[in-house]
């Protein structure tokens, strides 16, 4: 279970001991990821100083080009993960194609998918942003991973998590044995176990959606949101609207407090017929986490974890959060189909 205050390294190693056949590869992979997360956290915290030290996309005081933070995060993750021998392939929301492990480094049996800096349009306003990751086992033969290894359904994930760069930096992840949260103690540079076995409330009082798009939503979704706004103290309505527009931050708050996050399809909007969020880098990993915390995630039609991807950058409607809230949403969808 772990004890509050222990380092993430110790907690992972102690949990690994419960699996005598573990090779240590997943542990090694997570350690590499954690290192990258600390560096990205440091850079995100410095973001407000870019005007002082050199604008992003221009040269800094040392005459070096300053990369946009999402590009920086992408490169940092790649560099932290390419040589450890744990991965056979990677894919990133920031890259069109799969990312191969360089020939000079050994290959492993895991696949890493990531959104290096989600919500990065919020950086200039000092709003919380995050990194999301998803880990699968290689399923094809051969040393090098292929696209097929990346196109696996959520229920096949081995681990998933996110790092939220907020008032403090937190790492939240699952390996299928519940969800734990670790807060970065900047004075020692370690993530410290702070949230043991997170369980999301079975029902919340918050809904999170970009309601500016509501006229593009299907009828079931619109009726559901209207229902949440009606007064009925027996069922805790009206709900409060909380929408940051930064998925990791909206998800993290709802995970702890309970509630429902919705990014439905915009059926009448040709730009977003399948919603905005990506199955592999956003929906699937968060679905794994929410299920491990007792919640649910659906596209309205299917459980997110059951969707077999056909494309690397496939989009999917995402409705995710407290179990009772997602079930009520599904009822509205089936009654208005
Ligand atoms: P990004 O991957 O370009 O950062 O976009 C994803 C973000 C999510 O963090 C957030 O939930 C969503 O976009 C908000 O979209 P909108 O501004 O349409 O409400
Ligand atoms: Mg994103």
Model pLDDT for residues 203-245, shown as the tens digit of each residue: 999 999 999 999 999 999 999 999 999 999 999 999 999 999 9
The per-residue pLDDT of the chain, averaged, comes to 93
Q: Is the CB of 246 under 6 A from ligand 1?
A: yes
| Domains defined along the chain, listed by start | 8-195 (3.30.540.10), 206-335 (3.40.190.80)
- Say how many Å lie between the CA of residue 263 and the centre of ligand 1: 9
Which ligand approaches the C-alpha of residue 113 most closely? 2
Going by pLDDT thresholds of 50, 70 and 90, the confidence category of residue 57 is low
Model pLDDT for residues 79-102, shown as the tens digit of each residue: 999 999 999 999 999 999 999 999
Q: What is the DSSP string of 126-191?
A: T--EEEEEEEEE--SSSSS--HHHH---GGG-SEEEEEEESSSEEEEEESSS-EEEEEEETTTTEE
Whether the per-residue pLDDT at 54 is higher than 50: the answer is no
Residue numbers in the known binding site for substrate are 118-121, 210, 243, 276
For the chain, how far is it from start to end, CA to CA, in angstroms? 44
Q: Is the CB of 266 under 6 A from ligand 1?
A: no
Which atom of ligand 1 is nearest to 122's Cα? Answer: 4
Q: Is the CB of 210 under 6 A from ligand 1?
A: yes
- What percent of the chain clears pLDDT 70, i.e. is strictly above it? 95
- Write down the pTM of the prediction: 0.95
Q: What is the DSSP string of 181-194?
A: EEEEETTTTEEEEE
């Amino acid at each position: 279970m772990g004890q509050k205050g222990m380092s993430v390294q110790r907690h992972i190693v102690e949990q690994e001991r419960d699996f005598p056949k573990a090779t240590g590869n997943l542990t090694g992979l997570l350690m590499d990821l954690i290192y990258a997360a600390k560096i990205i956290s440091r850079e995100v915290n410095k973001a407000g100083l870019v005007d002082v030290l050199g604008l992003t996309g221009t040269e800094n005081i040392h005459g070096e080009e300053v990369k946009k933070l999402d590009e920086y995060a992408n490169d940092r993750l790649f560099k932290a993960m390419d040589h450890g021998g744990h991965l056979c392939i990677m894919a990133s929301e920031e890259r069109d194609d799969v990312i191969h492990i360089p020939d000079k480094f050994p290959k492993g049996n895991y696949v890493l998918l990531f959104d290096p800096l989600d919500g990065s349009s919020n950086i200039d306003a000092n709003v919380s942003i995050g990194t999301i990751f998803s880990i699968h086992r290689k399923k094809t033969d051969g040393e090098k991973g292929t696209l097929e290894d990346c196109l696996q359904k959520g229920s096949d994930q081995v681990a998933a998590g996110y790092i939220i760069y907020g008032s403090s930096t937190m790492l939240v992840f699952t390996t299928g044995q519940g969800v734990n949260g670790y807060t970065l103690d900047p004075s020692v540079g370690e993530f410290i176990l702070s949230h043991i076995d997170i369980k999301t409330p079975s029902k919340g009082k918050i809904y999170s959606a970009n309601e500016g798009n509501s006229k593009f939503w299907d009828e079931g979704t619109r009726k559901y949101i209207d229902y949440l706004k009606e007064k009925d103290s027996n069922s805790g309505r009206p709900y409060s609207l909380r929408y940051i527009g930064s998925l990791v931050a909206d998800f993290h708050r709802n995970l702890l407090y309970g509630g429902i996050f919705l990014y439905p399809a915009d059926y009448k909007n040709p730009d977003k017929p399948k919603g905005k969020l990506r199955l592999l880098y956003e929906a699937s990993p968060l679905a794994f986490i929410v299920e491990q915390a007792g919640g649910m995630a659906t596209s309205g039609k299917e459980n997110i974890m059951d969707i077999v991807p056909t494309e690397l950058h496939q989009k999917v409607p995402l409705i995710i959060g407290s179990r009772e809230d997602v079930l009520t949403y599904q009822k509205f969808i089936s009654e208005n189909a």
